[in-house]
Amino acid sequence: MERVKWVVKHTVLAKFKEGVEKGEIEKLIKDYADLRNHIEQIKSFEWGTDVSIENLNQGFTHVFETTFQTLEDRSAYVAHPAHVKFGTQLFTTLEKVVVIDYVPRPEP
């Protein structure tokens, strides 16, 4: 039987401040994705916008998910100067943010 390699998912839900221009959000997304070129611990990066029909998003419109191989890699990312600099830029545009890190588990 093949052994499963666990990963760590760093998930960010973003609610941008009213008045933040679409172009500024697009640049932030590109800058977020560009962190892959500066932080070797990043295994993958994905993002998207809310498409739910349940209307339960509480104003959160964007989700960003960064994948790491280990908790140590995630910790190195959080402390990395490129991430700290980007986070400072991103947070100035956000009204609210939720950050959840988790290790995906198989079905019980």
State the catalytic residues. Answer: 77, 80
Asked if residues 62 and 48 have their Cβ atoms less than 8 Å apart, the reply is yes
Q: Which DSSP letter does residue 54 get?
A: S
User: Residue 74 CA to chain centroid, in angstroms?
Assistant: 12
Dump strand ranges (E) for 1-108. Answer: 8-16, 44-49, 62-68, 94-102
HSE-CB of 53 using CA atoms within 13 angstroms: 0
